[in-house]
Chain A
Amino acid sequence: MWSIGPIGFAAPWLLLGLIALPILWILLRAVPPAPIRRRFPGVALLLGLTDDDNQTDRTPWWLLLLRILAVAAAIIGFAGPVLNPQNARSGAGDLVIILDGSWAGAPSWQARIDRVDMLLSEAALADRRAAVINLNNLPVGDIPFAAPNDWQNRLPNIQPQPWQPSDVVAWFAQSNERFETYWISDGLDWDGRTDLLAALEERGAVTVFQTPRQIVGLRPARFENGEVLVSATRSPIGNPLDTTVTAIGLDPAGVERQLATVPLVFAPGEPIAETAMVLPPELRNRITRFEVGGTRSAGAVSLTDDALKRREVALIAGRDDREGLELLSPLFYLREALEPTADIIDGTLDDILLANPDVIILADVANLAGSENDAVLEWVESGGMLLRFAGPALAASDQGRIEEDPLLPVRLRSGGRSVGGAMSWGEPKTLAPFAEDSPFFGLPVPDDVTVTSQVMAQPDPTLADRVIAQLTDGTPLVTRRLSGEGQIVLVHVTANAEWSSLPLSGLFVQMLERLAVSTRPATPDEAELAGTTWLPGKVLDAFGRLEDGSALPGVSGEVLAAGVPSATLQPGLYTGGDRQLAVNVIGPETALNVAAWPARIAIEGMAVLRETALKGWLLSATVLLLLLDVIASLAIGGRLRGPSADVAAAAALMLLLAPQAEAQTAEEFALRATSEVVLAHVLTGDRETDETAEAGLRGLSQTLFRRTSIEPAAPLGVNLETDELAFFPILYWPVTADQPLPSRAAYGKLNRYLRSGGMIMFDTRDADTARFGSGSPEGRKLQAIARSLDIPPLEPIPSDHVLTRTFYLLQDFPGRYASRDVWVEAAPIGAEQVEGMPFRNLNDGVTPVIIGGNDWARAWAVDNNGRRMFPVGRGRSGERQREIALRFGVNVIMHVLTGNYKSDQVHVPDLLDRLGQ
């Protein structure tokens, strides 16, 4: 392929055509634009007029340039230009493509796969066998050589894993074929990489593909001095790097959210960056993981386990009368034991319960008030842990003597006992080793812990189950009862050193840990984990996504203790008992090193300049230029501005304005609705009903036109969903049983319409068979429709309602049927009739709805020739009924348009006169 700079040509000899361009220039220049012939009678007046100059008999230079450019683009386009033409890699023999396939490559995994794809394409061209091997997922058996096309199909299945390869040299050692190696490196060093390189070099040439990329690994967060310290390491170490760390956890609703984001800045040349997050305990305890912003890899995610959780512990002491004697305070030792690992809450019980702590410790508190009792019980039932310590007060009280107290794990005998004191026989008692089912099992029992006083449990069939620690003589020291989701624990000695030396010993702290009162420190050591099995809960994939790991096998404690992620120990959260342990890709001490290659190895970049064929672009440009030329030629020839140009302009405008057709119709609708008074009916979707409603309103409009000064235009059907309602004084709404309910937006519009003074006239059209409120299908539909409408209280039209006299004096409101059940907004309470007045003084407000079933539209309806469409009643009385129906329609429209004008007292004398009173 012949190329100029980054552009190569498939058919370079075609470029010779460019030489012809100057000739074309001269040719085109000589030919002026063709004239238009026009018939024009006024030519008689033109005779003898000459042109001012002869400029346009030559094509203007810019038009020439346009054409030359078009031709040049066509020539170059057909010459097949290609941007960044790729020269095929030479080579022969078998080819092995190795992928590191660790988490470090995950962020740009697709680029790696694309690169492999391209290498395979080249191998296919060179007719080589190839094998693609993910070092983290070694195939079983020999090196699986196959045709490169086969491998290309399998590429999407190759995925990175969240650990580093191991034991790969042995796998390659099992065969002794010779092959060339392309090694797609993740850029991180790992154990055994150099060994593998040596092994591969024995088989053939090795080429490494590696791009220096900044890889960031987030180390586990630690808790120090009330702050969460987050640190990250990186590779390669170089320029300053600004990034962020986000703490992610569940919010109270159980939705995963970003709880906090802090900036993390690597100073130039520094491998490690550290930042502190100060979070309220509530928020801190919710954190499930940290993530480095903008990086998609398992190394940028650090899961948190119990190590970061700090339990909230509320301390309440029974008596606090001996001020100043710190060491005797019942809470002193507790405070000392808990302070480093838990958040301590002080306050009254009511306040504490609001904070919903994990643990409430009652030190020698005998009685709680009744309401407090219930509240604490409720808190325990929903998962709280109540830890009580005995003491003189509890021993002296009658709490839990006769029957079991709900807040005590066992029944107590009154008084307690003292041993080993000056006034008693026997030695102070020591602790018995912990039973196997006790949470304290495994804790060493120091010899120097003695108990001199304790409260005693009432012997009971259930007692044995509830004892979790006892003295050598078998009396319970710690009892526990599960209650709901929570538990109640009673330590039968005091929390200070008065009754025993337990609070002075290290055992006290360990016991608190085991009871999950305080948090355990950091990672358990190997000895502690030995023999245990841990189940994976959530596991991380190489891209840093959390996946459900419940299908994976359990992991033994020894493997977990090593903490090195591998195929058997996927990074993730492991659960054992009530504890959780996180295995992260990056440990607290993990360092990231750049994979360094010996000088003899050829290293290529990952980035590939794609071949881009420019032919299409150039030919498109040609067409575009030619189109421009057409327009320009027309303009030059006067055909654009001539008399027929309006057609072309209209066509162009049509093209441009097509999307606005909708808006235009909306505008037309608005114009139609507002240029005259227009009565409107709601389109129900039933064609016959809609036509009848339109005919009815047409009849009413004609009547109004003839008899009153209201001169409405032709009525309009209104689609509630799409049309604006505000233009119409009244909406006639025939209710059909099967019309759809309006959408939420349409209801919003309707309510706005009603509030802003519009009126809706509901017509169920069933007054012949049903009365208002009865269960006809239309009535039920009306109820369904009106449920979401803002409709005031209603009453049947009272005889003094303004509707009875807005234009005609009426007492009946018939349509096609003559039911009296027509309802309007109820008069305000307290409207009083004044003596001597024909009607009450109801001055304000037009009724927003008229509801009836008289089928007014049919009574009003006329066809296009002005003939009545539906019969009303029979004979002369029927015609009278139709007339009254029309008068009612006139009154309604008058009422809508003039409001309560006719209620004005000014009209009283006239009305009295006309009423004959």
Chain B
Amino acid sequence: MSTPLTLRSAAEALAAPLPPLLAEAEHLATAVLLGDHGRRRAGTGDTFWQYRPAQPHDAARSIDWRRSARSDANFVQDKEWQIAQSILLWVDQAASMSFRSDDNLPTKAERARTLGLATAILLVRGGERVGLTGLRLPPRRGEAQLMQMAQLLSQDGDTDYGAPEAQGMLPHSRAFFVSDFLGDIQPIEDALLRAADRGVGGALLQILDPQEEAFPFDGRTIFESMTGALQHETLKAGDLKSRYLDRLAARKDRLQHLARTTGWQFQTHHTGQSATHALLWLYGALEHHA
């Protein structure tokens, strides 16, 4: 039932995370200085690249008279080649991401959204076009796009574990997936292979809570997934620790292997660590293969 009152309060609740999310992402993004982004060769663009002696094919109006006046030859000012990339991101919004082991830590979802949006901000500032996978938000540039993206990212999914959507990826664009990758591996594998088929490169960022790495449990315990759909009971949780860790390592290994075969990059980030670190890695990973 959506009376104006409930609608309003729901809308407020929905909108509440937006400004902080944006602000936090902006804050994170300011930590990275742009300057890495140019293509390092002459081409069409706005910024100065170099002076070169004028060639016969250069139009007279392209001659830089100020420079040429200081010598006998004529010079042409080259601009740095800038080309906009399309970058698609997928941030896991499933219930498993809303886990946090400590009130002082952000949830995995918060961290993932912040990182995703901060990367998007950086890329938009760098002149790239950014969008979400799965045809929800086609790549565009500009602040409006960021606002829209923030809104879409703020939604929570209701499944236990998320799977990346590989639709809507432009050929030879770039993409990055942020998730805990704890769910079924098959959809992830499919998505990656499909992306690789289209020549899409990118990065996988696995976000884990420190507790998921440490497994500090003991005694008789019933483990439940975030929605409660999955349950596992044990009488001695402490005994499971090594086997759990083995499985986690195997999962990471598998993801690493997948990434290597598809030309992606893989990294694990813990919510206990600084977000900047992950942002730099993410930004660098996207930049690297551009």
Interface residues of A (CB under 8 A from B): 32-47, 49, 51-52, 54-57, 636-639, 641-643
Q: Mark B208-247, 1 if CB is under 8 A from A, else 0.
A: 0101100111111111111000111111111110011001
A residues near B96, Cβ cutoff 8 Å: 41, 44
A39 CA to B108 CA, complexed, in Å: 14
| From B209, B234, B235, residue with most partner A Cβ within 10 Å | B235
28 of the cross-chain contacts (CB-CB < 8 Å) are: A32-B220, A36-B220, A40-B223, A41-B182, A41-B225, A41-B226, A42-B212, A43-B225, A44-B182, A44-B183, A46-B244, A47-B230, A49-B243, A51-B234, A51-B236, A55-B236, A56-B219, A56-B220, A636-B219, A638-B218, A638-B221, A638-B237, A639-B219, A641-B218, A641-B238, A642-B216, A643-B101, A643-B102
Interface residues of B (CB under 8 A from A): 96-97, 99, 101-102, 108, 160-161, 180, 182-184, 209, 211-212, 215-226, 230-240, 243-244, 247-248, 251
Task: Please determine whether A40 and B224 come into contact, CB atoms closer than 8 angstroms.
Answer: yes
A391 CA to B46 CA, complexed, in Å: 140
Given contacts A49-B243, A51-B239, A638-B237, are A43 and B221 in contact (CB under 8 A)? no
A52 CA to B224 CA, complexed, in Å: 21
A356 CA to B231 CA, complexed, in Å: 103
A34 CA to B232 CA, complexed, in Å: 15
- For the residues of A in contact with B, the DSSP-based class is loop
- Nearest residue, chain B, Cβ from A638: B219
Which 9 A-B pairs give the minimum distances between C-beta atoms?
A638-B219, A638-B218, A41-B96, A35-B220, A43-B223, A637-B219, A45-B247, A40-B223, A46-B232
The 8 Å CB contact of A45, one of B97, B160, B182, B233, is B182
B residues near A44, Cβ cutoff 8 Å: 96, 160-161, 182-184, 225, 230
- Nearest residue, chain B, Cβ from A33: B220
Task: Please determine whether A43 and B212 come into contact, CB atoms closer than 8 angstroms.
Answer: no
The 8 Å CB contact of B221, one of A32, A35, A57, is A35
- Nearest residue, chain A, Cβ from B215: A42
A residues near B236, Cβ cutoff 8 Å: 51-52, 55-56
Task: Please determine whether B244 and A49 come into contact, CB atoms closer than 8 angstroms.
Answer: yes
A47 CA to B225 CA, complexed, in Å: 11
A residues near B216, Cβ cutoff 8 Å: 641-643
Task: Please determine whether B224 and A38 come into contact, CB atoms closer than 8 angstroms.
Answer: yes
Q: How far is the CB of B59 from the nearest CB of chain A, in Å?
A: 55
Task: Please determine whether B248 and A42 come into contact, CB atoms closer than 8 angstroms.
Answer: yes
A57 CA to B235 CA, complexed, in Å: 7
Total contacts A-B at CB 8 Å = 123
Q: How far is the CB of B93 from the nearest CB of chain A, in Å?
A: 14
- Nearest residue, chain B, Cβ from A639: B219
Task: Please determine whether B224 and A39 come into contact, CB atoms closer than 8 angstroms.
Answer: yes
B residues near A32, Cβ cutoff 8 Å: 220, 235
A residues near B240, Cβ cutoff 8 Å: 46, 49, 51
Task: Please determine whether A37 and B224 come into contact, CB atoms closer than 8 angstroms.
Answer: yes
Q: How far is the CB of A50 from the nearest CB of chain B, in Å?
A: 8
B residues near A33, Cβ cutoff 8 Å: 219-220
B residues near A638, Cβ cutoff 8 Å: 217-221, 237-238
Task: Please determine whether A45 and B225 come into contact, CB atoms closer than 8 angstroms.
Answer: no
| From A39, A44, A55, residue with most partner B Cβ within 10 Å | A44
B residues near A35, Cβ cutoff 8 Å: 219-222, 233
| From A41, A47, A57, A636, residue with most partner B Cβ within 10 Å | A41
Task: Please determine whether A36 and B221 come into contact, CB atoms closer than 8 angstroms.
Answer: yes
Q: How far is the CB of A485 from the nearest CB of chain B, in Å?
A: 86
Q: How far is the CB of A36 from the nearest CB of chain B, in Å?
A: 5
B residues near A41, Cβ cutoff 8 Å: 96-97, 99, 108, 161, 180, 182, 209, 212, 225-226
A51 CA to B235 CA, complexed, in Å: 7
A76 CA to B222 CA, complexed, in Å: 39
Q: How far is the CB of B170 from the nearest CB of chain A, in Å?
A: 32
Q: How far is the CB of A661 from the nearest CB of chain B, in Å?
A: 23
Not counting A46-B244, A54-B235, a sample of 14 additional A-B residue pairs whose C-beta atoms are within 8 angstroms of each other reads A35-B219, A38-B221, A39-B99, A39-B225, A40-B212, A41-B161, A43-B231, A45-B182, A51-B236, A52-B236, A57-B220, A636-B219, A642-B217, A643-B102
A45 CA to B101 CA, complexed, in Å: 17
A14 CA to B84 CA, complexed, in Å: 89
A33 CA to B220 CA, complexed, in Å: 7
A residues near B211, Cβ cutoff 8 Å: 40, 643
A32 CA to B236 CA, complexed, in Å: 12
Q: How far is the CB of B158 from the nearest CB of chain A, in Å?
A: 15
- Nearest residue, chain B, Cβ from A35: B220
- Nearest residue, chain B, Cβ from A50: B234
- Nearest residue, chain B, Cβ from A641: B218
The 8 Å CB contact of B248, one of A45, A51, A56, A637, is A45
Task: Please determine whether A643 and B217 come into contact, CB atoms closer than 8 angstroms.
Answer: yes
Q: How far is the CB of B48 from the nearest CB of chain A, in Å?
A: 37
- Nearest residue, chain A, Cβ from B239: A52
Q: How far is the CB of A43 from the nearest CB of chain B, in Å?
A: 4
Task: Please determine whether A45 and B221 come into contact, CB atoms closer than 8 angstroms.
Answer: no
Q: How far is the CB of B255 from the nearest CB of chain A, in Å?
A: 13
Given contacts A641-B218, A643-B216, are A46 and B223 in contact (CB under 8 A)? yes
B residues near A57, Cβ cutoff 8 Å: 220, 235
- Nearest residue, chain B, Cβ from A51: B235
A residues near B160, Cβ cutoff 8 Å: 44
A462 CA to B221 CA, complexed, in Å: 117
